[in-house]
């Protein structure tokens, strides 16, 4: 009898890329629900719009490059990019900015470098930075969370705001907009208020800002679930949050009135999302264990530096892109000791 000859191992495989991606998407659900609860329908509309744009751009590029389309769309990586982008941008971002961001992310940052696995930069973060630099006002116009917002927009009103830029009669942008906690803190510190004075304001909750701190909790929950499912390892989230916490604690201990305490940094802006969902993007991150510790710690450090002394209130996207650039070098210098080499004799 004749048989087929495949190369070993012949075992039934235990992982697939689409499984990994769907686990990450699933882990994002608590954060998506929480954000929708606090900031309204905008996020969900953006999720759909960004996902459709990303899939269309991916399919078109694969067609142009004569690559099989279906397997690449089913790996869910384009959807993940879309979701991360949607979560990172303000709820009422004009529709064409979402489309522009996604086209840039998928076409320029991902497919032109060779598609999944070959892009040196995180597509969602590159798109975020492109828009932040080009349209700083729109990219920083957040809403006030539900407890501080008397005019939470309905579904139709949100659609109108996103697609036509119109608000319901009697409402102005100023009446619904709210500064992000990082922006607020930065602004107030700039006006020489002390941290304890600033925290007297209505915006603030128990360790971050109202609404925001709970979104941070739900992101953390999703992240912990991914750790439990071994979708990610602890190295990057722990080192990134750890370094951010340590550095902020250090400056906090030097002068608590001009430097917000550590937990504020972890639960504000993109830190939590960045630590579990963005810096852990395997394609663009460091792959060796020691390298991941360095990679994560450097991101945390740069986030703190830019937040405290830089020109932008938040810096996760910048820090991630900078370290994307350094990842291959970090990997090169942090190779593990191969068994049987060097002075690894035990016992």
Burial class (CB in 10 A: 0-12, 13-18, 19+), 287: middle
Cα separations (Å) of 291 from 75, 242, 294, 329, 342? 26, 15, 5, 9, 19
Q: Binding to another protein by residue 13, rule CB under 8 A?
A: yes
Distance, CA of 104 to CA of 284 (rounded, Å): 17
**In the range 260-289, which residues lie near another protein by CB under 8 A?**
282-283, 285, 287-288
Q: In the set 63, 96, 118, 155, which binds another protein (CB under 8 A)?
A: 118
Give me the 62-101 binding string for another protein, x by CB under 8 A, dash otherwise: ---------xx--x-x------------------------
3-state class (DSSP) for residue 78? helix
Q: Is the CB of 6 or the CB of 191 nearer to another protein? A: 6
Q: Is the CB of 79 or the CB of 209 nearer to another protein? A: 79
Q: Beta-carbon neighbour count of residue 185 at 10 Å?
A: 25
The nearest distance, CB 116 to another protein, in angstroms, is: 5
The nearest distance, CB 275 to another protein, in angstroms, is: 17
Q: Binding to another protein by residue 234, rule CB under 8 A?
A: no
Cα separations (Å) of 229 from 71, 133, 179, 247? 24, 37, 36, 30
Query: Residue 10: which residues within 8 A CB-CB, separation 6 or more?
Result: none
Distance, CA of 28 to CA of 79 (rounded, Å): 12
Q: Binding to another protein by residue 196, rule CB under 8 A?
A: no
Q: Are 27 and 84 in contact (CB under 8 A)?
A: no
Q: Binding to another protein by residue 344, rule CB under 8 A?
A: yes
Distance, CA of 336 to CA of 334 (rounded, Å): 6
Residue position matching structure tokens 């719009």: 49
Q: Binding to another protein by residue 17, rule CB under 8 A?
A: yes
Q: Binding to another protein by residue 226, rule CB under 8 A?
A: no
Give me the 235-264 binding string for another protein, x by CB under 8 A, dash otherwise: ------------------------------
Q: Is the CB of 45 or the CB of 126 nearer to another protein? A: 126
The region of 12-20, 24-32, 206-214, 318-326 touching another protein under the rule CB under 8 A is 12-20
The nearest distance, CB 115 to another protein, in angstroms, is: 7
Residue of 8, 90, 104 whose CA lies nearest to 58 = 104
Number of residues engaging another protein in binding (CB under 8 A) = 46
Q: Is the CB of 170 or the CB of 344 nearer to another protein? A: 344
Distance, CA of 180 to CA of 76 (rounded, Å): 30
The region of 9-17, 164-172, 195-203, 269-277 touching another protein under the rule CB under 8 A is 9-17
CA-based radius of gyration for the chain: 22
Q: Binding to another protein by residue 233, rule CB under 8 A?
A: yes
Q: Is the CB of 149 or the CB of 284 nearer to another protein? A: 284
**In the range 312-331, which residues lie near another protein by CB under 8 A?**
331
The token pair at 280 is 């852990």
3-state class (DSSP) for residue 278? helix
Distance, CA of 87 to CA of 12 (rounded, Å): 36
Q: Beta-carbon neighbour count of residue 33 at 10 Å?
A: 14
Binding site for another protein (CB under 8 A): 1-17, 19-20, 71-72, 75, 77, 114-118, 233, 282-283, 285, 287-288, 331, 335-341, 344-347
């Amino acid at each position: 009898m004749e048989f087929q000859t495949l190369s070993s191992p012949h075992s039934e495989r235990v992982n697939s890329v689409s499984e990994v991606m769907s686990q990450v998407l699933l882990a994002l659900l608590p954060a998506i629900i929480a954000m929708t609860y606090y900031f309204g329908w905008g996020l969900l509309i953006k999720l759909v719009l960004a996902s459709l744009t990303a899939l269309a751009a991916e399919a078109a590029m694969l067609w142009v490059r004569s690559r099989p389309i279906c397997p690449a769309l089913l790996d869910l990586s384009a959807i993940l990019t879309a979701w991360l982008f949607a979560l990172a941008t303000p709820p009422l971002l004009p529709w064409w900015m979402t489309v522009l961001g996604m086209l840039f992310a998928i076409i320029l940052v991902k497919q032109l470098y060779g598609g999944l696995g070959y892009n040196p930069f995180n597509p969602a973060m590159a798109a975020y930075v492109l828009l932040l630099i080009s349209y700083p006002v729109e990219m920083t116009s957040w809403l006030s969370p539900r407890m501080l917002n008397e005019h939470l927009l309905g579904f139709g009103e949100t659609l109108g705001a996103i697609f036509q830029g119109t608000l319901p009669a009697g409402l102005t942008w100023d009446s619904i907009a709210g500064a992000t906690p990082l922006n607020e803190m930065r602004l107030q510190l700039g006006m020489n208020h002390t941290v304890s004075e600033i925290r007297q304001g209505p915006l603030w909750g128990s360790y971050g800002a109202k609404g925001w701190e709970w979104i941070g909790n739900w992101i953390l929950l999703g992240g912990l679930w991914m750790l439990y499912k071994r979708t990610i390892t602890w190295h990057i989230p722990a080192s990134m949050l750890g370094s951010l916490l340590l550095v902020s604690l250090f400056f906090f201990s030097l002068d608590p009135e001009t430097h917000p305490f550590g937990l504020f940094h972890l639960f504000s802006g993109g830190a939590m999302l960045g630590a579990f969902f963005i810096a852990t993007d395997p394609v663009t991150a460091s792959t060796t264990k020691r390298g991941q510790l360095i990679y994560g710690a450097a991101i945390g450090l740069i986030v703190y530096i830019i937040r405290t002394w830089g020109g932008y209130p938040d810096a996760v996207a910048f820090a991630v892109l900078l370290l994307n650039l350094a990842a291959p070098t970090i990997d090169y210098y942090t190779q593990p000791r191969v068994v049987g080499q060097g002075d690894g004799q035990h016992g």
